[in-house]
Amino acid sequence: MSNLAKRVLVAIVAIPLILLISMAGGWYFFFFIAAVSLLALREFFLLAALKGARPPVAAGLAAGFLVNLSFFHSKLQVLIAGLFEALQIPLTFPTQAQLLLITLLVIVAALSLIELFRNKGSALLNLSTTISGILYISLFFGTFIGLRELFVPLDFPVMRYLPAAASAFDPDAAVKIYAWGGYTVISVLAVIWICDTAAFHIGKTAGRHKLFPRVSPNKTWEGAVAGFVFAVLASLAAKYAVLDYLSAGSAVIIGVIVGLFGQLGDLIESLLKRDAGVKDSSNLIPGHGGAFDRFDSLLLVSPLVYLYLDFVLFS
């Protein structure tokens, strides 16, 4: 079976599943992104091992999962508050920013202590690799969970976007807002895929000027410009199709983020693979490589879209 046929078959199965999970949100979306994050982090550790690092894989993956979990703040708060209430123990739950900070501080301290007693290879290299992998993979993937969870009535500026709603607790408004969250994460993924597809095909047929030959010899400026243009156009199309809470200007900004930083994210992963001397981060997904390969563009896009919506658009 050709590589193209494998890619098509995987897409036929994976895309509807991702659409369903994204719209369902909640624990379904959390566990999906957490699973992708863990797979990508493991692949990062395998790349580091090829360069002589010996990170504590199990401890690193557990730490990465906790970072992902810190972005699932609203559901986690309800779960833990209910448990403490049942035990009749008073609890003041930290904010999401506080929870993330606490999680990162504990992780760095714990990993440092683990490395103190491991005595396997270079402690400096091991600790640096483990922490950088958690920050680059788990933290950035975690923002995609945070992005989905921005669309809950208590965190969303309901009256600004749904002025007809009776209150922030209006059930119809809650359904509408949570659906926007699903459409938003789907749109981000779709714009990334459209950008990648346009860059690949136009670069292959019309590309003449190499973009970054030291890192990715096949990428061209023509392809990169095409990917950028199609990302902006696709983001605008998503605004008029399903993201009616966005203005045209905000849609363009998200398109620019994807068109620029999505392609940079792909180049960064190519740099890491080239340094490790491998073509793919793994052979997990037929025709696509590994989870790190498939979602490398999302790693820079997600935190920027998350920060833009949370601290600019919804502030």
pLDDT digits (tens, 9 = 90+) for 8-40: 787 788 899 999 999 999 999 999 999 999 999
Which residue, among 182, 153, 156, has the nearest Cα to 170 in the 3D structure?
153
Alpha-carbon distance 289 to 298, whole Å?
A: 16
| Cα separation values, 297 from 64, 178, 199, 238, 290, Å | 19, 25, 13, 19, 13
Nearest to 144 by CA among 39, 299, 308, 310: 299
Compute the half-sphere exposure of residue 52: CA atoms within 13 Å on the CB side of its CA. Answer: 6
β-pairing, 210-212 vs 216-220, is antiparallel
Beta-carbon contacts of residue 29 (< 8 Å; ≥ 6 apart): 21, 22, 145, 148, 185
Q: Name the token pair of 309.
A: 């919506």
Q: Which of 187, 188, 176 is nearest to 151 (CA)?
A: 176
Q: According to the model, what pLDDT value does residue 154 have? A: 74
Rounded (5°) CA angle 133-183-200: 60
Which structural domain range is residue 217 located in?
3-313
Q: Is the pLDDT of residue 157 over 90?
A: no
Rounded to 10°, the helix 57-70/73-86 angle is 90
Number of domains in the chain: 1
Among left, alpha and beta (phi > 0; psi -120 to 50; other), residue 119 is: left
Averaged pLDDT score across all residues of the chain? 92
Q: Is the pTM of this model over 0.85?
A: yes
**pLDDT tens, position by position, 224-277:** 999 999 999 999 999 999 999 999 999 999 999 999 999 999 999 999 999 999
